[in-house]
Amino acid sequence: MKVLSVNAGSSSLKFQMYEMPEEKVLISGVFERIGIDAPFYTIKINGEKIRKEVELPNHKVAFEILVKELMDYKVVESLDEIKGIGHRVVQGGDYFNKTVVIDDEVIAKIDELSTLAPLHNPAAITGIKAAQAVVPNAVQTAVFDTAFHQTMDEVNYMYAVPYSWYTDYKMRRYGAHGTSHKYVALRMNEILGRMNTKLITCHIGNGGSVSAVVDGKCVNTSMGLTPNAGLIMGSRCGDIDATIIPYIMKKANLTAEEVDTALNKQSGLLGISGVSSDSRDVEDGINSGNERCLLAQKMYVRRVIDYIAKYYVEMGGADAIVFTAGVGENSKATRREIMDGLSVLGVVVDEENNNTRGEEIMVTTKESKIPCYVIPTDEEVMIARDTYAFIK
């Protein structure tokens, strides 16, 4: 059975098609710069990567081209072979604690929650409607980044603000990256050979979050009402003193929108280093003696350590710590610095194993009191699994 996993951005469309239940990837790719100048797309099939420049006025055209490529490369003989399309949706609020089949009511709820994810939810709706128009007979599902975190207790998801802000405006912690945290937690439990575990999962990339997972369920996570909470990220500030916002508005004569832009797009590694939001560029800056890059890295690592330590205490221990996403899977230096900072908990780095990128491996010694693993995330396969389950 063929299932398509889709992640629509405001000007992009990522996709991956699977043969299920084998979970064999048949084709993958991304359409970029949809609706703007110089659009193009790349596809990867049979180990070959192909780039094509083409007019992409909207997501519907991107889907039409995608379907044509599926036909041309004989991935499918007809549209009826595409039994399901799973869509990544960032914000599901407290409406959705699991994947759902999409109908008009679901789309309305996703649209209602756009104020909490203004860059992502409208794009998801655009992708959904485009898929419905081009492949009308496929089962369409919505897989929410926030769903995995809906198992949190109110003591962890509530903010200490006027209670009416929660009841009237749904102001609470929702988290993000839930599909990734769920995937690596499931895989970690497979490696450990049991489900009754206490895990700390670290999805650290340009965006980042840490989650505490007990017996396969999330009990706490670092992101909040929006993705700009918790860790220091590529261009997001993470946790700050809330009074900074009115203070800088008055001092610098900034509007609320300008401050929001600064905290989401001009802060984090970029804001401190002055060089880049990309951790690789920051590491290069450190190697060339840039003191601000060194400061940015130390702050970044410290915040991850803080959350790991917090969740270790909250859960009363940890059976494993997992690193995933761009930085977690590929930055040997960042992983080592985080694990060195956890030596008080008995974490001992395996330097040889940690000298790897992008592969599943234990990066601590057998003597380490808490094993630490790198597990490459696979959000697309989680979307395909959930969609396949509905069809089956």
Residue 364 DSSP one-character state: B
HSE at residue 75, side-chain half, CA atoms within 13 A, is 26
Task: From the candidates 80, 145, 281, 386, give the one annotated as an active-site residue.
Answer: 145
d(CA 294, CA 286): 5
Spatial CB neighbours of 38, under 8 Å, sequence gap ≥ 6? 53
Q: How far apart are the C-alpha atoms of 53 and 157, rounded to whole Å?
A: 45
What does each C-alpha distance from 104 to 127, 132, 171, 207, 342 come to in angstroms? 14, 12, 25, 31, 48
d(CA 2, CA 64) in angstroms, rounded, equals 17
Q: What is residue 368's DSSP assignment?
A: -
DSSP-derived pairing of the beta strands 82-89 and 139-144: parallel
Residue 289: the pLDDT is 95
Instruction: For domain 2-144, give the CATH superfamily.
Output: ATPase, nucleotide binding domain (3.30.420.40)
* Phi and psi at residue 44, to the nearest 5°: -125, 120
Q: Fold for domain 194-374?
A: Nucleotidyltransferase; domain 5 (3.30.420)
Would residue 145 show up in a list of annotated catalytic residues for this protein?
Answer: yes
* pTM for the predicted model, two decimal places: 0.90
Contacts of 286 (CB under 8 A, 6+ apart): 293, 294, 297
Reading the chain (392 residues) residue by residue, the pLDDT tens digits are: 999 999 887 677 889 999 999 999 999 999 988 888 888 999 999 888 999 999 988 888 888 899 889 988 999 888 889 999 999 998 999 899 999 999 999 999 999 998 887 778 888 898 898 889 888 899 999 999 999 999 999 999 999 999 999 999 999 999 989 999 999 999 999 999 999 999 999 999 888 999 999 999 999 999 999 889 999 999 999 999 999 999 999 999 999 999 999 998 899 999 999 999 889 999 999 999 999 999 999 999 999 999 999 999 999 999 999 999 989 999 999 999 999 999 999 999 999 999 999 999 999 999 999 999 999 999 999 999 999 998 88
The span from the CA of 296 to the CA of 275, in Å, is 10
pLDDT of residue 67: 87
- Looking at the chain, the domain(s) classified CATH 3.30.420.40 span 2-144, 194-374
* CB-based burial, 268-282: b 16+ in 10 Å, e otherwise: bbbbbbebbbbbebb
Cβ atoms within 10 Å, residue 369:
13
Q: Cβ–Cβ contacts within 10 Å for residue 339, how many?
A: 24
Q: Which residues contact 330 (CB under 8 A, 6 or more apart)?
A: 357, 358
| pLDDT, position 348 | 97
Query: What does the pLDDT read at residue 10?
Result: 66
